[in-house]
Amino acid sequence: MHYLYGKALILLQTVQFILGSLFFAKNNFALYYSMKQKHLIVLTGPTGIGKTKAGIEIARHFNTEIVSADSRQIFRELRIGTAAPAKTELEAVKHHFIHSHSIFDNYNASRFETEALALLEKLFLTHNTVLMAGGSMLYIDAVCKGIDQMPDADPDLRANLEAQLREKGLENLRRQLKKADPDYYSKVDLKNPARIIHALEISLMTGRPYSSFRTTFNKERPFSILKIGLNCDRQELHRRINARVDKMVADGLLDEARELYQFKHLNALNTVGYRELFAHFDGEVSKEKAIELIKRNSRRYARKQLTWFRRDDEITWFEPGQIQEIIEYIENKIQQPNE
């Protein structure tokens, strides 16, 4: 009798577990499905193309907020040199990740992924559509595709590598990286000390090549993603970039850079618009030459951005003045979620 009672109790518990699991799965599927009806619109393009102005117009049409994907406008100390949105523009539409962090923060794309996804979860409670606008390729990919999970940093090892950079130069670190991880060495921007130091830090700390931690798998997101790119012919883009640099200078870029000069060793200031002026302050180039270099390096950065973006066949391209066409395209796409 006790045996039959025990078997019946086990059977009852099993049925309860199955029913509970089905209820949980149903609720989670409903939550997932409801989130899939939410839309992240990504507005990107090269520097100087007019993403800020276009983004505000699009966000106002959809009555939504803007999540900035700009790895330098995020720093509150960098205002003029990053062409951050003006006060009136920030008041026109709620922006996130503009002047939200300090140059003294150890900020990167992985941290942005975590913080941006948490923010999107909150925004989607009150908005069906959210706009992400910016030109920082890694930050956009971090949110849309996910970024590789790396081991925690070793502050002492990083400090040692940064000291080597100051004392022995970048070429010394390049040689170490080539030996530790020849695969990543062949792909990385060898002029970017921050990326070289980061890769070396992971390789030396773990005894494994940095590239072994990188994957090609995209993380699934519980919302749909629609990517819009802005571009124009090269001559017009160069005109826009040159005009923007002239405006920065007129707005007080030299004074801003002079105030930040003492922090030039920080990665946040290894940025076009500041490092050229730091060279001027060091007596290496004239003011006129520094401004010319800012324009040249900005144009080169735009070319690099476009090379990156063109690998992404999910981006649909428009010219900066085609705001109405962009809005109509978005409306058509978000009404057809299965496409």
Task: Extract the annotated binding site for ATP.
Answer: 45-52
Q: Are 272 and 298 in contact (CB under 8 A)?
A: yes
DSSP secondary structure of 14-43:
HHHHHHHHHHHHHHHHHHHHHHHT-EEEEE
- Cα distance between residue 223 and residue 339, in whole Å: 14
| 294: CB partners within 8 A, 6+ apart | 245, 248, 272, 273, 276, 277
Binding residues for substrate: 47-52
Helix (H/G/I), strand (E/B), else coil: 318: strand
What are the residues whose beta carbons fall under 8 Å from the beta carbon of 249, sequence distance 6 or more?
A: 291
Sheet holding 224-230, edge to edge: 95-96, 66-68, 129-133, 39-44, 224-230, 315-318
Annotated binding site: which residue ranges? 45-52
| Alpha carbons within 13 A on the beta-carbon side of 97 | 28
Which structure tokens are listed for 84? 């951050």
* Alpha-carbon span 312 to 242, nearest angstrom: 27
Cα–Cα distance measured from residue 49 to residue 237, given in angstroms and rounded to the nearest whole number: 7
**47 vs 134: CA distance, rounded Å:** 9
Tokens of 279: 């060279």
Between CA 82 and CA 280 the distance in angstroms is 19
Q: What is the dihedral of CA 9, 11, 16, 21, to 10 degrees?
A: 140
